[in-house]
Amino acid sequence: MKTTQTQSNYTEWISAEQMHQDSKEWLSELLFIKDEHLFYEDLIKTFTMQLIEPEHFVDNKEIIDTLNRSQKQNNLLIEAIKVHENDLQILLDGINQTEQEKAYRKSHKGLILELIEFEKFYKILKKQVFDIFSAIKKEDKLNHLLEQR
């Protein structure tokens, strides 16, 4: 039995207004993630000494490198969405440009898929980052309690 994969044609009937709204929401989410990246940078600067301890260095370095790649990907997505938003004029100008309109809808669908993947990746990364800093804070607290004795 042969199976065929069907693609959803959601973007073929979605309105220009809805695509504009999608783009605004995506941009808002990505700008929030950009702020989170700045927060992570501050945490990394604050806890540099704990992050470079030999027993955790390799794992921490890998997570920090992944965080840097995430930051770069986030910036690229922000720029792509800004360009996509500017290109929305193709659908609104009243001129029948079927090929350009089809290409725009295809790029919208591509952005949807790209953002879904980025969000999955980012949620996993965010959990790993918080696990690292939670462990550091617990260790600091334990050391502080031991020093008080």
Cβ within 8 Å of residue 51, ≥6 positions away: 44, 57, 60, 64, 132, 136
Q: What is the mean pLDDT of residues 114-137?
A: 94
Checking if the pLDDT of 11 tops 90, the result is no
In the chain, where the domains are located: 15-148
Give the Cα separation of 138 and 133 in Å (integer).
9
Token pair recorded at residue 108: 């919208």
| Exposure class string for 94-119: b at 16+ Cβ within 10 A, else e | eeeeeeeeeebbebbbebbebbeebe
At 31, the amino acid letter reads L
Give the integer Cα–Cα distance in Å for 136 and 106.
45
- The yes-or-no verdict on residue 29 having pLDDT over 80 is yes
> With pLDDT > 90 as the criterion, what percentage of the chain qualifies?
48
Contact of 23 with 88, CB cutoff 8 Å: yes
Do 11 and 112 touch, CB atoms closer than 8 A? yes
Instruction: Single out the residue of 124, 140, 130 nearest to residue 53, CA to CA.
Output: 140
pLDDT at 9 over 60: no
- Residue 24, both tokens: 């605004």
What's the pTM?
Answer: 0.81
**What is the H or E stretch that residue 63 is in?**
helix 57-86
Reported as a single tens digit per residue, the pLDDT across 40-84 is 999 999 988 888 888 888 888 998 999 999 999 999 999 999 999
The amino acid sitting at 138 is K
